[in-house]
Every structure is written in C-alpha cells, then in structure tokens.
Amino acid sequence: MTGGTVVSDRIPALRVRGAVKRFGLVVALDGVDLDVHHGEVLALLGDNGAGKSTLIKCISGVHRLDAGHIELDGTPVELNSPAAARNHGIETVYQDLALFDNLDPAANFYAGRETAGPRWLPQGLRVLRRRAMTQATAEVLGRLQVQVHERQSTVGLLSGGQRQAIAVARASAFDSRIVILDEPTAALGVRESRRVLDLILRLRDDGRAVVVISHAMDHVMEIADRAAVMRRGRKVGEEIPTPDTQQKIVSLIVGA
C-alpha cells in the first residue's frame, strides 16, 4: 500500500494545483491542490456542496478552471471539453452512468469513438466494424470479470449492478489512465456494491489512477489508499484511511 508521503516524490498521474472555479458570486473551488498516482485509489470526500463534483467536472472537462492548472504525468494540459479530457485518457463514470439503454454493451463502449472505416471518409460516414467492437468489449468485460449474460441485448435490460459494471468497464477501456467515479455504489444493493468495489480494485491493480467520490464510509475505508477531504471549496485534509483515522476523517468532513 502506498501512502500520501511515500508517493510524493513520484510524478503523479494527475496533479491539480490552485484550482479555482466560481459560479457568479459562489466560489465552488477555492485553490485546491490534489495529486493522484498510478495504481492508487483516492477517495474524494466531503459534505454536499463541498466542491467534490465541481472538482471532478473540471478534471473531466465539463467545467473550465478560472485559475490554477492540471498536469497529467507532469505535463500541463488544457481540458476544455469532455472530449479533450477523454483524449488525454481521463474517463468519468457519472452518477447517472450516462449509458444508452437502447444500445448493447459494445455500442455503449464505443459511443462517440466507434471503430469504423475506411479512414479517408469523415468519421460519421464510416462503416462500423461491429465484430471488432463486440470482441474488444467482450475482452474488456472478461478481463474485469464482469458477467453479462447476453452481450447482444440492450443495456436497458440489465440489472442495476450490471449497468454500473458496464459503465465502469467502459471507463477503463481505451487505455484510460485516470478513472473518476461519482458515487459508484450509491444505487446498489450489498452484493452488487461488492462486485463494483472489486472492479475498482482491479482497475487500481491495472496501474490506473482512480478517484472515487463516495459517501459510504465503509466502502472508502475498504478500497481507498488515500482520502482527501473537501469543505467549502477547499481541501481541508488528507488521511490514509485506517480504523484509527476514520474518526478524524469524519470530523474533517463535518468540520467539527
């Protein structure tokens, strides 16, 4: 297990420095620094309105920072659209999963980046390589041990846990380096949560940098290598989650 102090001399997969984001008069992010390393799960904690969602939206290209900068593997990057973030290997699993219920898992995986040819045509006019996409999807699902009974059926027919797994697996395909998950277990039962947590750990073991927003303390304690706590747009602390630090983390969150 890697700790906050041990990893600091390596170049982090994701480095946020002095992130500021305002919405009108509201300061949603007020100078946030954050490092996430390859092969690490970072839990991003905080009460509602603490700025967690704003921060991950800035990292995934939905919002633009008003000040501060973001580095990937030591290189400053401009993330001004979701597509730009994705091209840099940042994949986000939103709370609503952003799945296409009317399409099958392969079509969901490849939405907006379909494998198609010939290359001299613009992307929209290319012919889909359906078999290649189906195979690649099956490989990713197999590697992550996601069980989908009928890979041809539409995602809308799958259970909540399977849908979550599909969304997480999609985020880990395409050589993504950083995977951000917003409340990945919020809508799931115990057994389904278990599977998604295992999946997150497999992503970590794959060497990816994983950021998880969660309110479920027991899940954080179990999977996170580090926990960063936010309050009122600032990062108020970082702890390595252990039974001893749990109480401290909770106090940081509530500001007591």
Q: Indicate the residue among 77 and 217 with the shorter CB distance to another protein.
A: 77
Helix runs in 120-189, H state only? 130-143, 160-172
Which of 75, 80, 123, 251 forms a contact with another protein (CB under 8 A)?
Answer: 123
194 contacts another protein (rule: CB under 8 A): no
Q: Give the per-residue contact string, 72-101, with another protein (x = CB under 8 A; - = no).
A: ---------xxx--x-------x-x-xxxx
**Least distance (Å) between residue 206 CB and another protein:** 22
d(Cα 72, Cα 52) in Å, to the nearest integer?
Answer: 19
Contact 104, 153 (CB under 8 A): yes
Cα–Cα distance list, 92 to 51, 178, 212, 213, 247 (Å): 17, 8, 10, 11, 29
Closest alpha carbon to 230 in 36, 55, 46, 49: 46
Q: Indicate the residue among 2 and 95 with the shorter CB distance to another protein.
A: 95
Question: Tokens 């989908």 identify what position?
Answer: 148
**Least distance (Å) between residue 55 CB and another protein:** 17
d(Cα 256, Cα 254) in Å, to the nearest integer?
Answer: 6
Contact 217, 47 (CB under 8 A): no
**Least distance (Å) between residue 124 CB and another protein:** 4
Which of 1, 124, 175, 244 forms a contact with another protein (CB under 8 A)?
Answer: 124
Stretch touching another protein by CB under 8 A, among 3-11, 36-44, 154-162, 172-180 = 154-162
Which of 11, 20, 62, 144 forms a contact with another protein (CB under 8 A)?
Answer: 62
The torsion angle over the Cα atoms of residues 10, 231, 83 and 202, rounded to 10 degrees, is: 50
Indicate the residue type of 72: L
Q: Cα 5 to the chain's mean position, in Å?
A: 23
Q: Indicate the residue among 141 and 229 with the shorter CB distance to another protein.
A: 141
Residues forming contacts to another protein in the complex (CB under 8 A) are: 62, 81-83, 86, 94, 96, 98-103, 107, 111-114, 116, 123-128, 130, 147, 149, 156-162
